[in-house]
Amino acid sequence: MSKHFKKYALLLIAGVVICSVSCKKDSKGDGEGEVTDFIINAKNIIIDGNDNNVAVVKAIMFNKQYYEDEPIATGTYENGGFKLALPFTIDSSYLDEAFKLGGNWWYVNNPNVKVGEIYIFAYDEADNKIGWFVHAENRKMGANYVYADRSVTITETYFLSEYDYNKTITFDLSLKKGWNVVYSIEEVDDDYYYYNCTLTTKKPSGVTLKWSYHG
């Protein structure tokens, strides 16, 4: 997974946690490599490394009560793909306050919203973590699944300049209650003199997301 995507996706939340509620509703039309409302169906995965020992795929969230990564969904890795059924609901006690950065609130129309996001990891038959999966077009355009306990809109731009590093982070999010796809679009120069990142729920036009494995 892109280091920048992981880093700045975390700006959405102060921490994420898990609930073991089972998914009770499937989504419609989960086509090749498409992430739908509750089902992640990944096919024809691009391999970066070696997937010979991958047996199980888990959607992971952070349990802040026990300070541990724990699975909220588990699937079998077979025929170069996997399917995960995400929990239909996640208990609010396992989510965290949203959109804090340095103690400041972004503009939100519902400041009580709580959110969490998943990371997807690969495990061998002995349950050892051996890699991870990414849903992206390239290293500068990726997507992740974010759960919100209520609907919320976030529209804000954050600027930061430190040393010779200039950073701009733009939030253009309209989250519904439940699972949402959040896209991360990055722009960076060769010397990392500037870095721009946009987090949005609007899928960029002309973009084809593909699943890839890194291990």
Token pair belonging to 141: 């355009």
Instruction: Identify the pLDDT of residue 1.
Output: 46
At 158, is the secondary structure helix, strand, or coil? strand
Q: How far apart are CA 183 and CA 90, in angstroms?
A: 21
Give residue 78's pLDDT. Answer: 96
Per-residue pLDDT tens digits of the chain, which is 215 residues long: 444 433 333 333 322 222 222 233 344 333 344 554 589 999 999 999 899 999 999 999 887 777 888 899 999 999 999 999 998 888 766 687 755 433 344 455 566 788 888 999 999 999 999 999 999 988 788 998 988 888 888 888 878 777 777 888 888 989 899 999 999 898 877 766 677 888 899 998 888 899 999 99
Main-chain phi, psi angles of 150, to 5 degrees: -165, 165
